[in-house]
Structure 1
C-alpha cells in the first residue's frame, strides 16, 4: 500500500480531506482570501530589509515583487507537491520573519546583500539534505526553546516598527516628527477599530485595510508620493541575481543555519497543526516531504532576489476558521501570487506607501509574532525552575543586541555576525541550556529503550493520546516525562479523578505523595 507521504494516485486523492475539490467560483474566492490574509506579513520582510539596506523605491519594489513571485512558487510546490517534495496540505508559504534579525546583522557588519543571499542558499541546501533526519533533531526544539526564539523574534522587530513610525530614515527631514508618529497612530487605531468592529470579514483583513486607510490619509495630507508609480514596464519576469553573484562567508552561513533549523521546526509545527485541523494522516516521511519543499524554495529564493521561506501560521488559522481544507485552493493562491510577482507596478505602489503607515501596522503585526511566542511559552512546565532559567537567560541574550548594539564590537567578526542577531543569540543559548539542563538529565536507559523499537503495531485511543505530553517515553515499564521524571498510573478512572482533585487542592505536592495515593 502506498505511504501517505507519497504523492497520492488519482483514485486515492478523493479519500483525503485535503483533496476536496470545490467549484471554480469558491476556489477562486478562497484563494484570494488566503492571499489577503498573509499579504501584510509577506511584504513586511522585504520592506524591513530594503529600509535597512537604504534601497530606493525601485529596488524596494523589486524585493516586494520577488517575495510574491517566490512565495507563490513555494506555496504551489508545498500544496500541489512533487514526488518526495511537498506536504500536499493547504499550507501557504512566504518570506520568513525568523531571518530578519540575522539578515540585518549581516548587512550591518558589512557583509552586504550578496552575503545574505549566499548564506541563505547554503543553509537551505543543508536543510534540504537533513530534512529526513529532522525528526531526531526536533526533540531539541521543545516549547521552552521555540517559545523563547519566537518571542525574541517579535521583540527584535518592535524597534523596526518604532523606526518606521518615526519615518524610517534618521537622516531624512522630519524623522521623529509628530506628523509621522500621528500617521502611524492613525493606522494603528484603524487596525484596532477594524479588529473590534469590522465583523468576520474586515477583522481578518484589518491590517491590510488599515494600511489602505493610512495611505489615503497620507496622500490627502501630502505625505505620500505616488508620482513614480507606473514608471517602467507593468509586466516583467524577475531578474535573476539582480544584486550580483552571492558571496559565502562562514559566520553568516552558521547564523543562517540556525535560522533554517528554527524555520524547519516552525513548518513542522504548522504541518502537525494542519493535520489536526483537516483530519489528514501525517507521518515523519510526509513531514520530511514538506520540509524538502520548504528548503528547496528557500534555496532557490536568492536566485530571484528573495529570502527564506516558511509556512504562514495565520493561514493555518484561516483554514481552521473557514473549514476549507482543499489544498487546491491554496495551490491556486500560489499561482495568483506568482502572477502578482510579475507585476512590478504593484511593487511600486507598495514601495510608495509611507513608512509611518507600515510602522502603525507593524506594531500589531510584529507584536503578534511576540504574542505567539508567549503563547508557546505558556505550554512550558516551569516546575523545578530550570525551564524558567532557560527562558530568562535566552530572552536576556536575545535582548542584548537591541539594548546594546555595540556589545560584540570587541569580539572577532564571526562572533559579531552570529550573536549581534537577537534571534541567533536566543536560539543558541536556548538550545545549549535546554540540552544541558533537560536532555542530559533524562535517564540514560531511555536511549537504549528507544533503540529497541516497538514490537507489533499499536494504536492509542484519543483519551490515551490526549494524556501524553511532548517528550513522554516508556523506559523499563515506567512512563517518564521529557525531564526524566516518572509519571504515576492511576488504577481506575475514579482514582484518576480523585487524585487530580487532590493535586489541584494542594493536598498532594510531591511525586511520592501521588505514588502513595495511586498505590504505585
Structure 2
C-alpha cells in the first residue's frame, strides 16, 4: 500500500489494541507498588516488546512467524496468576519471579509448538466456527466495560456520559462505514476513535496528563527491575497459562486464516506459536510480559478487508517507536475508555460474525454438528453469563476454566472426536477440514473497500 495508507492503517491497529497492551502492566505495576515513573517504564517496555513480537509474527524469520496480519502483545490471561505470584513473593521480588517463570514457560512452549500445532487436523469448520464465535462473544464484555469507563472503582463508572460517548463513537464509526468509500471506509475505526476523543474533551473525559508528564525518549533497560528469579510454584502456574495462551493463539490463527482466505495449516500454526513463545522468552529481558495474539485486531481485519500483513507490521513498528518514546505512548493514552468501548463493539462483533459465517459452511443440518456447536457455545459462555460459576474451584483450575475461549475450544474438539472420529477413518463426509491446501495470497487482494 502507499506509505500514507500503510501508516494510517497500521495506526488503526495500534489504536484497536493499545488498551489491551497497557492493561496488564498497569494492573501488575499497581499491585507491586511501582512509582509513577516505574509504571511508565513498565508500560513502555510492554509496548516495545508488543511491537517486536508483532514484527516477528508478521514478517517472520526462518520457521518463526505465521506471516499473517497477526498482532501480538502482553496477554491479559497472565494477570490473575501474576497477581497471585506477587502476593506470595512480596512486592520486592514479584517482578523478577514473574520474569523468570515467564522465560521457563516460554521455552517450554517453543519446544512443544510443532507438536501442539498438530491439533489442527481435529479442527474442521464446525469447531473453528464455534471458537471464532466464542472469541467475539468473550471480547464483547471487555468493550462493555470500556464503555462504562474501564475502572469499576471509579465513582463515575457507568455514568450516562460514559455510555453516551461510547454510543456516539459507535454511531460515528457506522456513519463513516456507510457514507464513505475506499480508504476512508477502511480506516473508519481510527477516524471514529479520533472524532470520539475530540467530542470527549468538552465532556471532561479526555485527560492529557500522560502527554504532559511523559519524556521524549526512553529505552527499556534490560532487567531494570532485577535479574530473573526462578520459583517452582510460579513456573508451574505460568506454564499452565502458556498452554492456555497457545490454545487461544491457535484459535486466533484459524480465525484469521479464514478471514484472509488463507487457511492456517499445521506449519503456519507451528510458526505462529514459535513467534508467540520466542517473543515471550525475550520479553522479560526488556521488562516485558508474556506475549500472545490479540483477537480484537482480527475483528479489524474482518471489518476493513485490509488483509496485508505489512499493514500490521507497520503497526508493530509504531509500537516499537511508542515504546522508545513515552510521549507518543501518552498521546494514544488520551483516547478515553468509553470511546474505545464504542469502537470495540464494532470490532468484537465483527469477530463473532466471522465465526457465524464459518459455521454456515459447517453443515449444521447434521444433528451431530448442531450438538457440537450448541454444547460448546454453552460451556464457552459460562464465564460471561455466570462469572462466579467456578468460584469454588482451585485457583490453578480457574486459570483455564475462566477462559471461555479455551474451555469452549476443548469441548468442541472433544465432541468432534466423539461424533466424527471415534471408530471412523478419516474426516466425516461432506465436512471441510482445516488442513486444506491454502491458496497463494499475500493479502493484497483484500485492499479494496
Q: Normalising by structure 2, report the TM-score.
A: 0.77
State whether structure 2 residue 6 is matched by structure 1 residue 28: no
> How far apart, in 2, do the equivalents of 1:212 and 1:440 lie?
53
Find 2:432's aligned residue among 469, 473, 483.
Answer: 469
Cα shift at 1:117: 6.3
Quote the residue 1:339 is aligned against. 321
> How far apart, in 2, do the equivalents of 1:249 and 1:416 lie?
17
Report if aligned partners of 1:294, 1:310 keep a CA contact under 8 Å in 2. Answer: yes
3-state SS of 2:72 partner: strand
3-state SS of 1:309 partner: strand
Report if aligned partners of 1:154, 1:367 keep a CA contact under 8 Å in 2. Answer: yes
Give the paired residue count. 416
3-state SS of 2:239 partner: helix
Structure 2 gap ranges (5+):
88-93, 437-449
Report if aligned partners of 1:145, 1:434 keep a CA contact under 8 Å in 2. Answer: yes
Quote the residue 1:85 is aligned against. 64
Quote the residue 2:14 is aligned against. 39
Find 2:197's aligned residue among 215, 219, 225.
Answer: 215
> How far apart, in 2, do the equivalents of 1:302 and 1:373 lie?
34
3-state SS of 2:213 partner: coil
Rate the CA distance shift 1:118–1:291 in 2: closer, same or farther, 3 A. same
Report if aligned partners of 2:138, 2:404 keep a CA contact under 8 Å in 1. Answer: yes
Rate the CA distance shift 1:287–1:116 in 2: closer, same or farther, 3 A. same
Rate the CA distance shift 1:127–1:207 in 2: closer, same or farther, 3 A. same
Once the two structures are superposed, what CA deviation does each residue of 1:460-489 show, in whole Å capped at 9, x if it has no partner? xxxxxxx9932799xxxxxxxxxxxxxxxx
Deviates more, 1:73-82 or 1:177-186: 73-82
Deviates more, 1:366-375 or 1:70-79: 70-79
Once the two structures are superposed, what CA deviation does each residue of 1:268-299 show, in whole Å capped at 9, x if it has no partner? 6656876859xxxx986576445433432243
Once the two structures are superposed, what CA deviation does each residue of 1:105-136 show, in whole Å capped at 9, x if it has no partner? 54687777968767765554334223334553
Rate the CA distance shift 1:401–1:185 in 2: closer, same or farther, 3 A. same
- The within-5 A match list for 1:170-185 is 170-185=152-167
State whether structure 2 residue 175 is matched by structure 1 residue 193: yes
Report if aligned partners of 2:299, 2:347 keep a CA contact under 8 Å in 1. Answer: no
* Greater fraction of residues in helix: 2
Report if aligned partners of 2:123, 2:434 keep a CA contact under 8 Å in 1. Answer: no
> How far apart, in 1, do the equivalents of 2:384 and 2:431 lie?
38
Rate the CA distance shift 1:154–1:123 in 2: closer, same or farther, 3 A. farther
Once the two structures are superposed, what CA deviation does each residue of 1:156-187 show, in whole Å capped at 9, x if it has no partner? 22222222222222332222211111111111
Quote the residue 1:95 is aligned against. 73
Quote the residue 2:53 is aligned against. 74
Task: Give 1 or 2 for the bigger CA radius of gyration.
Answer: 1
> How far apart, in 2, do the equivalents of 1:57 and 1:197 lie?
43
Find 2:339's aligned residue among 357, 368, 377.
Answer: 357
Q: Which has the higher contact order (CA 8 A, sep 6+)?
A: 2
Report if aligned partners of 2:48, 2:323 keep a CA contact under 8 Å in 1. Answer: yes
Quote the residue 1:159 is aligned against. 141
Structure 1 gap ranges (5+):
1-25, 448-466, 474-520
> How far apart, in 2, do the equivalents of 1:313 and 1:364 lie?
12
State whether structure 2 residue 419 is matched by structure 1 residue 413: no
> How far apart, in 2, do the equivalents of 1:58 and 1:372 lie?
41
Cα shift at 1:420: 2.0
Cα shift at 1:407: 1.6
Q: Normalising by structure 1, report the TM-score.
A: 0.67
> How far apart, in 1, do the equivalents of 2:36 and 2:335 lie?
10
